[in-house]
Amino acid sequence: MIGKITSDVASKIKNTDWQKIRHSLNPIATNSHLEGAFSSTGDSLLIRKISKLEQEGNFDKIKSISSKLYERMLKMDEEFKKLPPVLFARKYYRGIMGKNNEGVQILQKANTGDIVTPDSGYAFITKSKDVAEGYARYLDNSAGGENVFMEIKIPRGAKISRNPFHLREAVMPRNAKFEVLDKQEQEGLTKVILKYIPSK
């Protein structure tokens, strides 16, 4: 009978390792290293700080902060390289806020045609325009009244970590670079259109 689930099928569904299947579809989205790195806001801030120290070649300072976190970061970087490329161009969104947010400062100073790195960590993006814009407007003036809403164009062949199980989110590689395609002030937001430039 169509639509009827037999006890045998129900048993198979119950005993299926969905976590394993989900991991095989997108290894980084469920990888313990990635989840561990984002266990708190403090870790995210540390990742950005370590990335900047790495760029400066200050590895002694990195060692004094957290060698284990840096090792996780390097492993995540390698896992990004192993991800399958996206088959079609995609559009994502991101909202950031606060006058002390480095990404806000970078994007508000940027001009059309500039190449920018608004986040030295692993930036979360979403396919939900409403979610991103809602976050950009969150706290409004109490965050300093500095809000940026990004439309991000992901080209075919890029490698990002997609997680369709949570707000249609994806994660960008560390230190992701973008070209500024357009920038406007609209309805209290700095709205920026960015094109992701995959690393070679």
109-163 pLDDT per residue, tens: 999 999 999 999 999 899 999 888 888 887 554 555 578 999 999 999 999 988 7
For range 13-33, the mean pLDDT: 43
Asked if 105 and 191 sit in the same domain, the reply is yes
- Domain range for 160 is 90-197
In this structure, which amino acid lies at residue 17?
D
Rounded to an integer, what distance in angstroms lies between the CA atom of residue 46 and that of residue 52? 10
Rounded to an integer, what distance in angstroms lies between the CA atom of residue 77 and that of residue 120? 13
Looking at the domain assignment, is residue 147 inside a domain?
yes
Looking at the domain assignment, is residue 20 inside a domain?
no
CATH code where residue 191 lies: 3.90.176.10
Q: Which of 12-16, 39-43, 62-66, 99-103 has the lowest mean pLDDT?
A: 12-16
b/e map of 128-140 (b: 16 or more CB within 10 Å)?
eeebbbebbbeee
**Last residue of one domain, picked from the residues 41, 62, 82:** 82
Asked if 107 and 167 sit in the same domain, the reply is yes
Give how many domains the chain has, as a whole number.
2
CA distance readout (Å), 58 to 53, 77, 144: 5, 19, 32
Residue 149 makes CB contacts below 8 A (sequence gap 6+) with: 93, 94, 95, 132, 133, 136, 189, 190, 191, 192
pLDDT band at 34 (very low <50, low <70, confident <90, very high): very low
Rounded to an integer, what distance in angstroms lies between the CA atom of residue 141 and that of residue 69? 34
Q: Please tell me the predicted confidence (pLDDT) of residue 136.
A: 84
Asked if 71 and 157 sit in the same domain, the reply is no
pLDDT tens-digit readout, 164-199: 666 588 899 999 999 999 999 887 789 999 999 998
Looking at the domain assignment, is residue 22 inside a domain?
no
Asked if 70 and 107 sit in the same domain, the reply is no
